[in-house]
Amino acid sequence: LGGYVQSSTMQQRVLRIPSKHYQDALSQLQELGTILALEQSSEDVTEAFSDVVRRIENLRALQARYTQLLAAANSIQVRLAIEKELRRISQELRELEERRRSLVDRIAYATITLELEAKPKHRVAHSGRVQPFPFVDDYGLSSVLR
């Protein structure tokens, strides 16, 4: 489905799933075993994304204006002040571009946090003996415990 594991521990997996495949992913996860805990998270980042895009556009316009002023500057002092401001704007643009990329990722992917008790990969014929723990035969461990 195109997703990836964001993090994993012995008990818990955090999956990032493309938003368009979210329901398919949930169905496939249920086929893998018993879901012990499931947390689904999504947030509307439309307003934040629009704000970042607007700020980037404004800073680019400001950067262009300062570049014009730099070309027309007559004194060293004015040039230094404009260059300092251009460095600040460039840094802010880099930060906003990173924020925009992060928001695009949050729009494109949904997050699923789950604890899953996996189904055994194959079932082994029961030994015929009564086991105190039914999973012993399910995993073929009875031959080890004889």
pLDDT tens digits, residue range 49-95? 999 999 999 999 999 999 999 999 999 999 999 999 999 999 999 99
Residue 104 has pLDDT above 70, yes or no: yes
Q: What is the CA radius of gyration of the chain?
A: 28
Q: Which long-range contacts (CB under 8 A, 24 or more apart) does 57-62 make?
A: 59/89, 59/92, 59/93, 59/96, 60/93, 62/89
pLDDT value, residue 84: 98
| Spatial separation of the C-alpha atoms in residues 96 and 59, rounded to whole Å | 10
